Structure 1
Amino acid sequence: MTPSVFALFCTLAALLPCLVHGHMIEVAASKKECFFEDLHINDQMTVTYQVGGGGHLDIDFWLADPDNHALGKHIKQSTGSVSITAKKDGRHEYCFSNQMSAVADKLVSFNVHGVIYVGEDDTIAPVEREIRDLANGLKSVKDEQEYIVVRERRHRNTAESTNSRVKWWSILQAILVFSVVAWQVYYLKSFFEVKRVI
Protein backbone atom coordinates (compact mmCIF):
# COMPACT_ATOMS: atom_id res chain seq x y z
CA MET A 1 0.00 0.00 0.00
CA THR A 2 1.49 3.32 -1.03
CA PRO A 3 1.81 6.13 1.50
CA SER A 4 -0.65 8.33 -0.43
CA VAL A 5 -3.37 5.62 -0.40
CA PHE A 6 -2.75 4.99 3.29
CA ALA A 7 -3.00 8.74 3.98
CA LEU A 8 -6.28 8.88 2.02
CA PHE A 9 -7.78 6.04 4.10
CA CYS A 10 -6.64 7.68 7.35
CA THR A 11 -8.17 10.97 6.24
CA LEU A 12 -11.44 9.28 5.30
CA ALA A 13 -11.53 7.46 8.62
CA ALA A 14 -11.11 10.78 10.42
CA LEU A 15 -13.50 12.80 8.24
CA LEU A 16 -16.36 10.35 7.79
CA PRO A 17 -17.06 8.38 10.93
CA CYS A 18 -20.48 6.82 10.45
CA LEU A 19 -21.75 5.12 13.57
CA VAL A 20 -24.36 2.39 13.25
CA HIS A 21 -25.82 0.44 16.16
CA GLY A 22 -28.56 -2.17 16.05
CA HIS A 23 -30.29 -3.03 19.32
CA MET A 24 -33.09 -5.24 20.58
CA ILE A 25 -34.61 -4.42 23.98
CA GLU A 26 -37.57 -5.51 26.05
CA VAL A 27 -39.52 -2.64 27.59
CA ALA A 28 -41.39 -3.88 30.66
CA ALA A 29 -45.02 -2.96 31.26
CA SER A 30 -45.47 0.51 32.82
CA LYS A 31 -41.76 1.29 32.27
CA LYS A 32 -39.61 3.28 29.87
CA GLU A 33 -36.10 2.81 28.52
CA CYS A 34 -33.97 5.84 27.65
CA PHE A 35 -30.67 6.17 25.79
CA PHE A 36 -28.28 9.05 25.18
CA GLU A 37 -26.07 10.25 22.35
CA ASP A 38 -23.58 13.12 22.64
CA LEU A 39 -23.85 15.27 19.52
CA HIS A 40 -22.19 18.45 18.31
CA ILE A 41 -23.74 21.18 16.21
CA ASN A 42 -24.70 19.93 12.71
CA ASP A 43 -24.14 16.27 13.60
CA GLN A 44 -26.90 14.08 12.19
CA MET A 45 -28.66 11.24 13.97
CA THR A 46 -31.44 8.91 12.86
CA VAL A 47 -33.34 6.50 15.12
CA THR A 48 -35.40 3.80 13.39
CA TYR A 49 -37.50 1.40 15.45
CA GLN A 50 -40.09 -1.35 15.19
CA VAL A 51 -42.06 -3.24 17.84
CA GLY A 52 -41.52 -6.96 17.26
CA GLY A 53 -43.74 -8.41 19.96
CA GLY A 54 -46.02 -7.75 22.90
CA GLY A 55 -49.49 -6.32 23.37
CA HIS A 56 -50.87 -4.39 20.41
CA LEU A 57 -47.35 -3.97 18.95
CA ASP A 58 -47.26 -0.26 19.76
CA ILE A 59 -44.99 1.95 21.83
CA ASP A 60 -44.43 5.64 22.60
CA PHE A 61 -41.17 7.18 21.38
CA TRP A 62 -39.60 10.60 21.72
CA LEU A 63 -36.27 12.25 21.04
CA ALA A 64 -35.23 15.39 22.94
CA ASP A 65 -32.36 17.87 22.77
CA PRO A 66 -30.09 18.77 25.74
CA ASP A 67 -32.68 21.33 26.94
CA ASN A 68 -35.35 18.57 26.94
CA HIS A 69 -37.27 20.07 23.99
CA ALA A 70 -38.94 17.33 21.93
CA LEU A 71 -37.41 17.02 18.46
CA GLY A 72 -39.56 14.03 17.49
CA LYS A 73 -42.45 12.21 19.16
CA HIS A 74 -44.55 9.19 18.19
CA ILE A 75 -47.50 7.97 20.26
CA LYS A 76 -48.65 4.32 20.07
CA GLN A 77 -46.78 3.52 16.86
CA SER A 78 -45.54 0.09 15.84
CA THR A 79 -42.74 1.44 13.65
CA GLY A 80 -41.14 4.78 13.02
CA SER A 81 -38.08 6.81 12.20
CA VAL A 82 -36.85 10.18 13.44
CA SER A 83 -33.96 12.07 11.86
CA ILE A 84 -32.44 15.20 13.35
CA THR A 85 -29.58 17.59 12.78
CA ALA A 86 -28.25 18.84 16.11
CA LYS A 87 -28.73 22.57 16.67
CA LYS A 88 -26.62 22.59 19.84
CA ASP A 89 -23.88 20.62 21.52
CA GLY A 90 -24.84 18.20 24.26
CA ARG A 91 -26.50 14.97 25.26
CA HIS A 92 -29.56 14.09 23.19
CA GLU A 93 -32.00 11.63 24.78
CA TYR A 94 -34.35 9.17 23.09
CA CYS A 95 -36.83 7.01 24.99
CA PHE A 96 -39.18 4.09 24.39
CA SER A 97 -42.13 4.17 26.79
CA ASN A 98 -44.49 1.31 27.60
CA GLN A 99 -46.23 3.23 30.40
CA MET A 100 -49.62 2.95 28.67
CA SER A 101 -49.57 -0.84 29.16
CA ALA A 102 -50.07 -2.38 32.58
CA VAL A 103 -49.63 -6.01 31.50
CA ALA A 104 -47.75 -6.57 28.22
CA ASP A 105 -43.98 -6.21 27.82
CA LYS A 106 -42.85 -4.95 24.40
CA LEU A 107 -39.92 -6.23 22.32
CA VAL A 108 -38.40 -3.32 20.37
CA SER A 109 -35.73 -3.47 17.69
CA PHE A 110 -34.05 -0.16 16.88
CA ASN A 111 -31.11 1.27 14.97
CA VAL A 112 -29.22 4.44 15.71
CA HIS A 113 -26.94 5.86 13.12
CA GLY A 114 -25.37 9.23 12.64
CA VAL A 115 -22.86 11.20 10.70
CA ILE A 116 -20.39 13.53 12.34
CA TYR A 117 -20.52 16.82 10.48
CA VAL A 118 -17.52 17.71 8.37
CA GLY A 119 -17.73 20.97 6.44
CA GLU A 120 -17.87 20.58 2.67
CA ASP A 121 -15.19 22.42 0.74
CA ASP A 122 -13.80 22.33 -2.76
CA THR A 123 -10.74 20.30 -1.75
CA ILE A 124 -12.71 17.04 -1.28
CA ALA A 125 -11.69 14.52 -3.87
CA PRO A 126 -14.32 12.89 -6.09
CA VAL A 127 -13.31 9.50 -4.68
CA GLU A 128 -14.13 10.71 -1.17
CA ARG A 129 -17.53 11.98 -2.32
CA GLU A 130 -18.24 8.57 -3.88
CA ILE A 131 -17.21 6.83 -0.65
CA ARG A 132 -19.60 9.07 1.30
CA ASP A 133 -22.42 8.23 -1.11
CA LEU A 134 -21.63 4.52 -0.79
CA ALA A 135 -21.61 4.77 3.01
CA ASN A 136 -25.05 6.39 2.97
CA GLY A 137 -26.33 3.70 0.57
CA LEU A 138 -24.97 0.92 2.80
CA LYS A 139 -26.61 2.52 5.81
CA SER A 140 -29.99 2.50 4.01
CA VAL A 141 -29.54 -1.15 2.97
CA LYS A 142 -28.66 -2.15 6.56
CA ASP A 143 -31.75 -0.38 7.92
CA GLU A 144 -33.96 -2.11 5.35
CA GLN A 145 -32.42 -5.51 6.15
CA GLU A 146 -33.03 -5.12 9.87
CA TYR A 147 -36.61 -3.98 9.21
CA ILE A 148 -37.18 -7.09 7.07
CA VAL A 149 -35.74 -9.35 9.80
CA VAL A 150 -38.14 -7.92 12.39
CA ARG A 151 -41.10 -8.26 9.99
CA GLU A 152 -40.16 -11.88 9.22
CA ARG A 153 -39.98 -12.68 12.94
CA ARG A 154 -43.37 -11.04 13.50
CA HIS A 155 -45.00 -12.93 10.61
CA ARG A 156 -43.44 -16.22 11.75
CA ASN A 157 -44.81 -15.72 15.26
CA THR A 158 -48.26 -14.98 13.82
CA ALA A 159 -48.14 -18.11 11.62
CA GLU A 160 -47.03 -20.32 14.53
CA SER A 161 -49.75 -18.90 16.77
CA THR A 162 -52.40 -19.49 14.09
CA ASN A 163 -51.14 -23.04 13.52
CA SER A 164 -51.35 -23.78 17.25
CA ARG A 165 -54.89 -22.42 17.50
CA VAL A 166 -56.04 -24.44 14.46
CA LYS A 167 -54.53 -27.61 15.96
CA TRP A 168 -56.28 -27.18 19.31
CA TRP A 169 -59.56 -26.21 17.62
CA SER A 170 -59.39 -29.40 15.52
CA ILE A 171 -58.74 -31.52 18.63
CA LEU A 172 -61.68 -29.87 20.42
CA GLN A 173 -63.94 -30.49 17.40
CA ALA A 174 -62.93 -34.18 17.29
CA ILE A 175 -63.70 -34.57 21.01
CA LEU A 176 -67.07 -32.87 20.53
CA VAL A 177 -67.95 -35.08 17.53
CA PHE A 178 -67.11 -38.29 19.42
CA SER A 179 -69.06 -37.07 22.45
CA VAL A 180 -72.14 -36.29 20.33
CA VAL A 181 -71.90 -39.67 18.54
CA ALA A 182 -71.64 -41.53 21.88
CA TRP A 183 -74.61 -39.62 23.27
CA GLN A 184 -76.71 -40.30 20.13
CA VAL A 185 -75.91 -44.04 20.22
CA TYR A 186 -76.87 -44.21 23.88
CA TYR A 187 -80.07 -42.21 23.29
CA LEU A 188 -81.17 -44.25 20.24
CA LYS A 189 -80.35 -47.49 22.05
CA SER A 190 -82.85 -46.55 24.76
CA PHE A 191 -85.68 -46.49 22.13
CA PHE A 192 -85.07 -50.11 21.17
CA GLU A 193 -84.81 -51.52 24.65
CA VAL A 194 -87.67 -53.80 25.64
CA LYS A 195 -89.22 -52.79 28.91
CA ARG A 196 -90.74 -55.66 30.81
CA VAL A 197 -93.65 -55.19 33.08
CA ILE A 198 -93.79 -57.61 35.97
Structure 2
Amino acid sequence: MCCWLGLAQATALTFTLAPNEKQCFYQFNNKPDSNIGYYFAVQAGGSFDINYTIKGPDQVLIVVEEKQRQGDYAFVAAKTGEYEFCFDNEMSTFAEKVVDFEIKVEDEDEASQMKANLPNAPTENTAVAGMQLSVNKIERTLNLLEHSLNYYKTRNNRNQSTVKSTENRIFWFSIFDLGLMMVMGAFQVAVVKFFFQGSRKQLV
Protein backbone atom coordinates (compact mmCIF):
# COMPACT_ATOMS: atom_id res chain seq x y z
CA MET A 1 0.00 0.00 0.00
CA CYS A 2 1.36 3.40 -0.97
CA CYS A 3 0.11 6.88 -0.23
CA TRP A 4 1.12 10.12 -1.93
CA LEU A 5 0.27 13.60 -0.67
CA GLY A 6 -0.70 16.43 -2.96
CA LEU A 7 -2.23 19.71 -1.72
CA ALA A 8 -3.29 22.25 -4.36
CA GLN A 9 -6.21 24.17 -5.80
CA ALA A 10 -5.89 22.21 -9.03
CA THR A 11 -3.92 18.97 -9.27
CA ALA A 12 -3.55 16.94 -12.48
CA LEU A 13 -1.27 13.96 -12.80
CA THR A 14 -0.76 10.55 -14.35
CA PHE A 15 0.41 7.69 -12.17
CA THR A 16 0.96 3.94 -12.39
CA LEU A 17 -0.77 1.61 -9.96
CA ALA A 18 0.93 -1.75 -9.52
CA PRO A 19 -1.04 -4.98 -8.86
CA ASN A 20 -2.42 -5.16 -5.32
CA GLU A 21 -1.36 -1.55 -4.73
CA LYS A 22 -3.27 1.38 -3.26
CA GLN A 23 -2.47 5.08 -3.63
CA CYS A 24 -4.13 8.02 -1.91
CA PHE A 25 -4.17 11.71 -2.81
CA TYR A 26 -5.26 14.59 -0.61
CA GLN A 27 -6.95 17.90 -1.37
CA PHE A 28 -7.26 20.55 1.34
CA ASN A 29 -10.47 22.61 1.34
CA ASN A 30 -10.29 25.86 3.31
CA LYS A 31 -13.87 27.02 2.67
CA PRO A 32 -17.07 25.20 3.64
CA ASP A 33 -19.58 24.29 0.93
CA SER A 34 -17.01 24.49 -1.85
CA ASN A 35 -17.39 22.45 -5.01
CA ILE A 36 -14.68 19.84 -5.52
CA GLY A 37 -14.54 18.40 -9.00
CA TYR A 38 -12.48 15.38 -9.95
CA TYR A 39 -11.78 13.49 -13.13
CA PHE A 40 -10.06 10.15 -13.61
CA ALA A 41 -9.63 7.65 -16.41
CA VAL A 42 -7.78 4.34 -16.60
CA GLN A 43 -5.58 4.70 -19.68
CA ALA A 44 -4.00 1.24 -19.75
CA GLY A 45 -3.88 -2.09 -17.97
CA GLY A 46 -6.09 -5.13 -17.53
CA SER A 47 -9.78 -4.44 -18.12
CA PHE A 48 -9.31 -0.66 -17.67
CA ASP A 49 -11.12 -0.71 -14.33
CA ILE A 50 -10.21 0.39 -10.81
CA ASN A 51 -11.72 0.83 -7.34
CA TYR A 52 -11.75 4.21 -5.63
CA THR A 53 -13.06 5.88 -2.47
CA ILE A 54 -13.41 9.47 -1.28
CA LYS A 55 -13.36 10.36 2.42
CA GLY A 56 -14.07 13.65 4.15
CA PRO A 57 -12.00 15.32 6.90
CA ASP A 58 -13.84 13.22 9.52
CA GLN A 59 -12.95 9.99 7.63
CA VAL A 60 -16.59 9.49 6.61
CA LEU A 61 -16.97 7.84 3.20
CA ILE A 62 -18.40 10.17 0.57
CA VAL A 63 -18.01 7.99 -2.54
CA VAL A 64 -17.32 4.25 -2.87
CA GLU A 65 -17.06 2.81 -6.39
CA GLU A 66 -15.73 -0.51 -7.69
CA LYS A 67 -14.42 -1.49 -11.12
CA GLN A 68 -14.89 1.92 -12.72
CA ARG A 69 -13.13 2.85 -15.96
CA GLN A 70 -13.49 6.61 -15.73
CA GLY A 71 -15.42 9.35 -13.99
CA ASP A 72 -16.02 13.08 -14.17
CA TYR A 73 -17.94 14.19 -11.09
CA ALA A 74 -18.27 17.00 -8.54
CA PHE A 75 -19.50 17.09 -4.96
CA VAL A 76 -20.06 19.73 -2.30
CA ALA A 77 -17.35 19.76 0.37
CA ALA A 78 -19.47 20.82 3.33
CA LYS A 79 -16.57 20.87 5.81
CA THR A 80 -13.14 22.40 5.76
CA GLY A 81 -10.15 20.10 6.00
CA GLU A 82 -8.37 17.40 4.06
CA TYR A 83 -10.28 15.22 1.60
CA GLU A 84 -8.83 11.83 0.73
CA PHE A 85 -9.02 10.27 -2.75
CA CYS A 86 -7.82 6.64 -2.82
CA PHE A 87 -7.40 4.32 -5.80
CA ASP A 88 -6.67 0.63 -5.38
CA ASN A 89 -5.76 -2.10 -7.81
CA GLU A 90 -6.21 -4.93 -5.33
CA MET A 91 -8.45 -6.88 -7.69
CA SER A 92 -5.56 -7.36 -10.16
CA THR A 93 -2.93 -10.02 -9.61
CA PHE A 94 -0.65 -9.23 -12.57
CA ALA A 95 -1.95 -6.17 -14.46
CA GLU A 96 -0.75 -2.69 -13.54
CA LYS A 97 -2.94 0.31 -14.32
CA VAL A 98 -2.06 3.75 -15.71
CA VAL A 99 -4.48 6.38 -14.38
CA ASP A 100 -5.05 10.03 -15.28
CA PHE A 101 -6.36 11.99 -12.30
CA GLU A 102 -7.31 15.61 -11.69
CA ILE A 103 -8.74 17.43 -8.66
CA LYS A 104 -10.06 20.99 -8.80
CA VAL A 105 -11.67 23.18 -6.15
CA GLU A 106 -14.20 25.60 -7.63
CA ASP A 107 -14.71 28.77 -5.64
CA GLU A 108 -18.14 30.06 -6.64
CA ASP A 109 -18.17 32.72 -3.89
CA GLU A 110 -15.33 34.59 -5.57
CA ALA A 111 -17.07 34.60 -8.96
CA SER A 112 -20.37 35.71 -7.35
CA GLN A 113 -18.60 38.48 -5.48
CA MET A 114 -16.94 39.73 -8.67
CA LYS A 115 -20.29 39.84 -10.45
CA ALA A 116 -21.86 41.73 -7.53
CA ASN A 117 -19.04 44.30 -7.54
CA LEU A 118 -19.62 45.25 -11.18
CA PRO A 119 -21.07 48.81 -11.13
CA ASN A 120 -23.22 50.24 -13.86
CA ALA A 121 -20.77 53.03 -14.71
CA PRO A 122 -17.72 51.94 -16.69
CA THR A 123 -14.63 52.36 -14.50
CA GLU A 124 -11.16 50.85 -14.36
CA ASN A 125 -12.28 48.35 -11.71
CA THR A 126 -15.19 47.35 -13.92
CA ALA A 127 -12.86 46.65 -16.82
CA VAL A 128 -10.53 44.59 -14.64
CA ALA A 129 -13.43 42.63 -13.16
CA GLY A 130 -14.88 42.07 -16.64
CA MET A 131 -11.56 40.78 -17.88
CA GLN A 132 -11.35 38.47 -14.89
CA LEU A 133 -14.81 37.08 -15.66
CA SER A 134 -13.79 36.55 -19.29
CA VAL A 135 -10.64 34.75 -18.15
CA ASN A 136 -12.71 32.53 -15.85
CA LYS A 137 -15.11 31.74 -18.70
CA ILE A 138 -12.21 30.88 -21.01
CA GLU A 139 -10.73 28.69 -18.27
CA ARG A 140 -13.98 26.77 -17.89
CA THR A 141 -14.17 26.29 -21.65
CA LEU A 142 -10.58 25.04 -21.74
CA ASN A 143 -11.37 22.63 -18.91
CA LEU A 144 -14.27 21.23 -20.94
CA LEU A 145 -12.00 20.85 -23.96
CA GLU A 146 -9.36 19.17 -21.79
CA HIS A 147 -11.90 16.71 -20.46
CA SER A 148 -13.06 15.97 -24.02
CA LEU A 149 -9.45 15.38 -25.10
CA ASN A 150 -8.90 13.09 -22.11
CA TYR A 151 -12.06 11.19 -23.03
CA TYR A 152 -10.90 10.66 -26.63
CA LYS A 153 -7.42 9.77 -25.39
CA THR A 154 -8.93 7.11 -23.15
CA ARG A 155 -11.09 5.75 -25.96
CA ASN A 156 -8.07 5.67 -28.29
CA ASN A 157 -5.96 3.76 -25.75
CA ARG A 158 -8.72 1.24 -25.13
CA ASN A 159 -9.31 0.74 -28.86
CA GLN A 160 -5.59 0.20 -29.41
CA SER A 161 -5.55 -2.34 -26.59
CA THR A 162 -8.53 -4.14 -28.14
CA VAL A 163 -6.83 -4.20 -31.55
CA LYS A 164 -3.60 -5.59 -30.05
CA SER A 165 -5.53 -8.21 -28.10
CA THR A 166 -7.44 -9.22 -31.26
CA GLU A 167 -4.19 -9.43 -33.25
CA ASN A 168 -2.63 -11.68 -30.59
CA ARG A 169 -5.67 -13.93 -30.57
CA ILE A 170 -5.67 -14.20 -34.37
CA PHE A 171 -1.93 -14.97 -34.39
CA TRP A 172 -2.15 -17.74 -31.78
CA PHE A 173 -5.33 -19.15 -33.35
CA SER A 174 -3.52 -19.30 -36.70
CA ILE A 175 -0.58 -21.11 -35.07
CA PHE A 176 -2.96 -23.53 -33.39
CA ASP A 177 -4.85 -24.08 -36.67
CA LEU A 178 -1.59 -24.69 -38.55
CA GLY A 179 -0.39 -27.15 -35.92
CA LEU A 180 -3.72 -28.95 -35.95
CA MET A 181 -3.61 -29.26 -39.76
CA MET A 182 -0.06 -30.68 -39.59
CA VAL A 183 -1.12 -33.22 -36.93
CA MET A 184 -4.19 -34.24 -38.95
CA GLY A 185 -2.08 -34.55 -42.13
CA ALA A 186 0.50 -36.72 -40.36
CA PHE A 187 -2.31 -38.85 -38.92
CA GLN A 188 -3.91 -39.33 -42.33
CA VAL A 189 -0.54 -40.27 -43.88
CA ALA A 190 0.03 -42.78 -41.07
CA VAL A 191 -3.44 -44.30 -41.56
CA VAL A 192 -2.99 -44.64 -45.35
CA LYS A 193 0.49 -46.10 -44.87
CA PHE A 194 -0.88 -48.60 -42.37
CA PHE A 195 -3.61 -49.74 -44.82
CA PHE A 196 -1.10 -50.20 -47.66
CA GLN A 197 1.21 -52.18 -45.43
CA GLY A 198 -1.70 -54.42 -44.45
CA SER A 199 -2.68 -54.97 -48.10
CA ARG A 200 0.88 -56.00 -49.04
CA LYS A 201 1.02 -58.54 -46.24
CA GLN A 202 -2.25 -60.11 -47.47
CA LEU A 203 -0.89 -60.35 -51.05
CA VAL A 204 2.30 -62.10 -49.83
TM-score (norm 2): 0.75
Whether contact under 8 Å (1:109, 1:150) holds in the other structure is no
1:172 aligns with 2:176: yes
For 1:101 and 1:169, how far apart are their aligned partners in 2? 26
Percent identity reads 26
**Which of 1, 22, 25 is 1:32 aligned to?**
22
* Matched positions, count: 181
Alignment of 1:34-73 (within 5 A): 34-41=24-31, 42-73=33-64
Deviations 1:101-154 (A, max 9, x none): 455433322222233451522326433322211111110110121121122112
Q: Write out aligned runs for 1:23-172 (5 A).
A: 23-41=13-31, 42-117=33-108, 118=110, 119-120=112-113, 121-123=116-118, 125-172=129-176
1:188 maps to which residue?
A: 192
For 2:162 and 2:93, locate their aligned partners in 1 and report how far apart those are by CA, in whole Å: 23
- Highest RCO, 1 vs 2 (Cα 8 Å, sep ≥ 6): 1
1:60 counterpart SS class? strand
* Unaligned ranges ≥5, structure 2: 1-7, 119-125
Q: Is the 8 A contact 1:61 1:96 kept in 2?
A: yes
Give 1:160 deviation, angstroms.
Answer: 0.6
CA RMSD of aligned residues (A): 2.6
Who is 2:5 aligned against? none
TM-score (normalizing by structure 1) = 0.77
> Which runs of 5 or more structure 1 residues have no equivalent in the other structure?
1-17
Q: For 2:37 and 2:93, locate their aligned partners in 1 and report how far apart those are by CA, in whole Å.
A: 29
